[in-house]
Amino acid sequence: MSSLLRIDSSPRGAGSHSKFIADTIQKQLVINTADIKICQRDLSLQEIPSISQATITGFFTPKENFTSELVKATLLSDQLIKEVKSADTILISAPIYNFGVPSSLKAWIDQIVRVSETFSFNETGFSGLVRGKKAILALSYGAQGYVGNGDLSSMNFFEPYLVALLKFIGIEDIAVFRLEGTSILDEEGLSKQKYALQTQIKNSLEVN
Ligand SMILES: Cc1cc2nc3c(=O)[nH]c(=O)nc-3n(C[C@H](O)[C@H](O)[C@H](O)COP(=O)(O)O)c2cc1C
C-alpha cells in the first residue's frame, strides 16, 4: 500500500483552481495505485494555530526535559510531522497570495519544519531528515508572468519558496503543476488551460 498526504490551503470550495489541480492529480494517483491510503487536511476547515512561545521552547528542548506545558504546546506539531513522515507522496495545493503562500499554509509549515525532526544542523550545515518521498505542488496564480523569465518572476516568493522549503527538509523529488492567469482569463481561456493541464498531469504521472 502507498500513502498520500494531501494538504489544501485555498479557503475556496468547489470553485478553487488549486483544488481542481490537486483533484486531478489525486485521481491519477488513485488510477496508478488503487491501494492508496489518503490522509487529507484542508487548512481552511481545520485551522492550524500559529506557533506560540511554548511551541518554540518545545522545539529546542530535549524530550527528556519536557514539562506538561511543552508536551501540550508541541502535540500538534508531532501529529503533523507524523503525517508527513508516514506519507510516500505529499500533495500540496495552494493559491499565490500577495506574492507568497496563504497564511494557513505558512502556519502548517511553521509546525512541520522542526529541528531534529524534519531537519538537522551541525558545523557543516543543514540536512533534511524527510527522505525518500515525492512532493507534488498544485499551484494557481491569478496573474500571468511569474514563471520562467516572466515580468513578475522577481515577485514570485511562492513557488520557489515552496520548492526550496521541501528541499530543505530533504525532499528532492518535486513535481509542479500550475495554472496561471485565473483572474484574467475568460472562461474559454481557462477551460483550455485546465484541459492542457489535465493532459500534462496524466502524461507525467501515469504509470505504464
Ligand atoms: C488575498 C488574495 C491575494 C492574492 N494575491 C495574488 C498575487 O499576489 N498574485 C496573483 O497572481 N494572484 C493573486 N491572487 C489571486 C489568486 O492567487 C488566484 O485567484 C488563484 O487562482 C486562487 O486560487 P484558488 O481558486 O485555489 O483559491 C490573490 C487572491 C487573493 C484572494
Give the pairing type, strands 125-128 and 119-122: antiparallel
Q: What separation in Å is there between the alpha carbon of 145 and the centre of ligand 1?
A: 14
pLDDT of residue 125: 96
Residue 177 host element (H or E): strand 173-179
Length of the chain: 208
Instruction: Kindly report the backbone phi and psi dihedral angles of residue 4, in degrees, each rounded to the nearest multiple of 5, phi listed first.
Output: -120, 130
Atom nearest to 19 CA in ligand 1: 26
- Residue 44's alpha-carbon distances to 39, 60, 93, 129, 202, in angstroms, are 16, 28, 12, 28, 28
Spatial CA neighbour of 93 closest among 9, 190, 29: 9
Take atom 19 of ligand 1 and give the residue whose Cα is closest.
142
- Report helix, strand or coil for 170: coil
CA distances from 147 to 24, 100, 109, 130, 160 (A): 21, 14, 23, 27, 10
**132 backbone φψ class: left, alpha, beta (φ>0; ψ -120 to 50):** left
Q: What is the pLDDT of residue 34?
A: 83
Kindly report, residue by residue over 13-32, the tens digit of the pLDDT.
999 999 999 999 999 999 99
**pLDDT, the chain, mean:** 97
Q: How far apart are the first and last CA of the chain?
A: 18
Spacing, Cα 142 to ligand 1 middle (Å) = 5
Which pLDDT tens digit goes with each residue over 160-201? Answer: 999 999 999 999 999 999 999 999 999 999 999 999 999 999
Say yes or no to pLDDT of 208 above 90.
no
**Closest ligand 1 atom, CA of 100?**
8
Strand partners, 121: 126
Which atom of ligand 1 has the smallest separation from the CA of 183?
19
| Ligand 1 nearest atom to the CA of residue 11, by list position | 27
Regarding the beta carbon of 183 and ligand 1, being less than 6 Å apart is answered: yes
At position 148, the amino acid (one-letter code) is: G
Local confidence band at 44 (pLDDT 50, 70, 90 cut-offs): very high
104 pLDDT more than 80: yes
Q: Can you name the CATH fold of 2-205?
A: Rossmann fold (3.40.50)
pLDDT, position 170 = 98
* Best of 42, 93, 182 for a ligand 1 pocket test (most atoms within 8 Å of beta carbon): 182
pLDDT digits (tens, 9 = 90+) for 55-91: 999 999 999 999 999 999 999 999 999 999 999 999 9
- How many CB atoms are closer than 10 A to CB 201? 20
Is the CB of 168 within 6 Å of ligand 1? Answer: no
At 207 the pLDDT is 87
